[in-house]
Chain A
Amino acid sequence: MIERLAASRCHVCGLVAAPPARWCPRHPVEMTRTSVIGAGEVVSFTTLHSPPEGFRSPLHIALVELSGGARFVCHGAETRGLRIGSRVAIEAVDNVYYFSHLGAIDRARLFWSRAGRAGERLSAIARSVAKRGWKGRSRGEG
């Protein structure tokens, strides 16, 4: 299931910003609200081995070019097998976006990589599994 992400578009240069911004960074005009598909191609990625306070090591960060045109910064659970140009899906958990090109187990693991109390992580995983189950059912019914 691919999510849609809130974004904004500049009517002068066509720049799409995700998350949405009020002003275009390149033109002094107000942007209009839109949304983009939460999937795209990896532009680059890195792994921080001494991340800043509040993040667990290793911290995977990717820059993804979304299909709607916007570039997007997000986290990931794993970079094994990841290449520049890899297709990934973007998914939000507790308002934090993760890329994922791997299976369900890796999806579960990625929530552990975000700093936080164990209870919060468990409930995030539970919410994600429940969301998937619900989405799967609704897709089945539709």
Chain B
Amino acid sequence: MHDVWIAGADMTRIGRLREPLGDLMAVAAHTALRRANRERPDSIVVATMNPEEFLGDGNFASNVATHMGFAEIPSIRVETATSSGAAAFYAGFAQIAAGLAHTVVVVGGEKMTHLPTPKVSELIGRSIDPYERSYGTTMPAFAGLVTRALMSRHGVSELEIAQVAVKNHANGARNPLAHFRDEITVDVVLGSRMVADPLRLFHCCPISDGAAAVVLTSDRTSVRVAGIGQGTDVLALRHRDALTSFRATQAAASAAFAMAGFGPSRVDVAEIHDAFAPFELISLEDTGLFPPGKAASATLDGETALDGRLPVNPSGGLKARGHPLAATALAQLVECVWQLTGYAPKRQVACSVALAQSIGGPGTNNWVTLLEAR
């Protein structure tokens, strides 16, 4: 297997954007190529979760390649629900590791703010088991069930969960590309309206548009892909033993660390899938970055803040940077690359190993990616 390196990474602003998705993705991919000093890739990997329903457009691998002016370069699309960007990164990684390509651009994007919120919720919720969906189970409902169990069975407090959102907003305020750039207080979180009891509006990430891209290469650069792991679980919540941990993240982390040949103690900074604030606490323990039962109090103690022992979501996370679905995992990796190469002004942390974790659907197709500065 060839070593795989990152030659460049870039992304668009995240938020309510006017440009067509094909253009957003082309912009992200071209700026990433420019940063990588590459004119054209051998191959393009595209991640979009559901442009068929959000936009009425399909055949998106060709759509993006054509928007980029690279209609004659081989392009494929990869999809694993909300973690599609990480799956596409894996596909690009595999092409280079196998020696099938020398330079691959991986680009993810989504556009959905033009639709009403209930419609977007319903479309994202289609990644849930059909029977459970027939009872009105949406992603917030799934997260509400998980959160109540977390609070009741593990004694995680409202304050500890709210602090995740407060911390990620504080980080987002330092990221010029973030969807939300305002700091918030615990009172704002706890005073926001109930969405899926006990989850409130400010525990939930926004609906966002945006695109992000990474250029992978077999040439040695300053950032190496140290490990990638995928983990999966049954679609139906009712068929799982555990409600307050995700088997899919645990399996992904264990595979990624096995490939990297080091453990969680080497990680200096992490981008975590905080689609709902309590998921950050669960994910920090599922990835092994914190021992079971310790992430909540560590968050309250500031250990995961920018100046803490292990800064988590310096970009603002899904909560403040935003969550343009298939772009999200790539935006996490862009942040990791920028942190590792000293290109994260106002939120720069000292680091040589970065971890990105992405959740697909209701925790059924999760990924952990490890990047290392060399």
Contacts and interface: CB of A to CB of B under 8 A. Distances in A.
Interface string B132-165: 1001111011001111110011000000000000
Nearest to A24: B239
B136 A49 contact: no
A114 to B, nearest CB: 10
Contacts, number: 95
A51 B199 CA distance: 14
Interface residues of A, number: 32
A17 B122 CA distance: 25
B243 interface: yes
A70 interface: yes
B243 A52 contact: no
A105 to B, nearest CB: 22
A127 to B, nearest CB: 20
Taking residues whose C-beta sits less than 8 angstroms from the other chain, chain B's interface range is 35 or more
Given A52-B136, A52-B138, A53-B118, A17 B239 contact: yes
Nearest to B147: A46
13 contacts: A25-B236, A25-B239, A46-B148, A46-B199, A48-B141, A48-B144, A49-B194, A49-B197, A52-B122, A71-B238, A72-B238, A73-B132, A73-B237
Given A46-B148, A47-B197, 11 more contacts: A17-B239, A25-B235, A46-B199, A47-B196, A49-B195, A51-B138, A54-B136, A59-B136, A61-B137, A61-B141, A61-B144
Interface of A: 15, 17-19, 25-26, 43-55, 59, 61, 63, 70-75, 79, 83-84, 96
Interface of B: 117-118, 121-122, 125, 131-132, 135-138, 140-141, 144-149, 152-153, 193-199, 234-239, 243
